Amino acid sequence: MTELADKKSDETQLSERFGIFQPLDYSFLNIKNLSDLPVCCPRMIPSINSVIKKDIDGKWISQTLKLNNNQIEDISTLPIVVYELLGDTSNLTWLDLSCNNIPSIPNSFSSLKRLKIIYMHGNKIATFQEVIKLRQLPKLTKLTLHGNPIEKEKVILYVSSQRQPVITVVPFF
């Protein structure tokens, strides 16, 4: 039994030392409104160290928020919800919003400055004007949009040599 406890302790020390934390997983919970998140318990990933930790203020310690495969339509309050869950919007680096019913990207996304990865495939994003709002995220390096009506336009996201996201549209021929 002490061997298992030692292994747990080793994993905890490594994750805290290198900033590796479990994702805050609210996927497949049939969530319709972001306001339901703080009262809803996140799903746990089965592993030896499966407990998602909280800080002294009761905020989750994680850099990843998974909201995929729900019924979410409005994400305008996402920065507020991220603050309620994590205590600081700058803690969030990976956001999975895939397979929801999201038609637009709010301007409030600009406050999530440390986001590196956003999965938005399988939603209802229809125009390039929505995607262009993500240019305000200086650390963004990965964005998925397949399975959205915007697929009719050829949108290309790449990272320039200065690590700045560049979004362009290639007309469909």
The model's pLDDT over 117-155, given as tens digits with 9 standing for 90+, comes to 999 999 999 998 999 899 899 999 999 998 999 887 765
Per this entry, what is the length of the chain? 173
> Is residue 104 within 8 Å of 127, Cβ to Cβ?
no
The 8-class DSSP code of residue 110 comes to G
pLDDT band at 172 (very low <50, low <70, confident <90, very high): very low
Is the Cβ–Cβ distance between 43 and 28 less than 8 Å?
yes
What tokens were used for 56?
Answer: 């002294």
End-to-end CA gap in the chain: 64
Whole-number pLDDT of residue 50? 56
Decide if pLDDT at 41 tops 50: yes
Q: CATH assignment of 19-170, given 1.10.3470, 1.20.1070, 3.80.10, 3.40.50?
A: 3.80.10
Confidence of residue 11 (pLDDT cuts 50, 70, 90): very low
What is the C-alpha separation between 123 and 99, in angstroms, rounded? Answer: 6
Residue among 124, 118, 129, 127 nearest 147 (CA) = 124
CA dihedral (48, 52, 53, 59) in degrees, to 10, reads 180
Ranges 15-24, 39-48, 81-90: which has the least confidence? 15-24
Residue 62's pLDDT is 92
The model's pLDDT over 147-163, given as tens digits with 9 standing for 90+, comes to: 999 887 765 555 555 55
Q: Which residue has the higher pLDDT, 70 or 161?
A: 70
Domain spans in the chain, listed from the N-terminal domain onward: 19-170
Q: Is the Cα dihedral 164, 116, 77, 30 positive or negative?
A: positive
Band the pLDDT of 43: cuts 50, 70, 90: confident
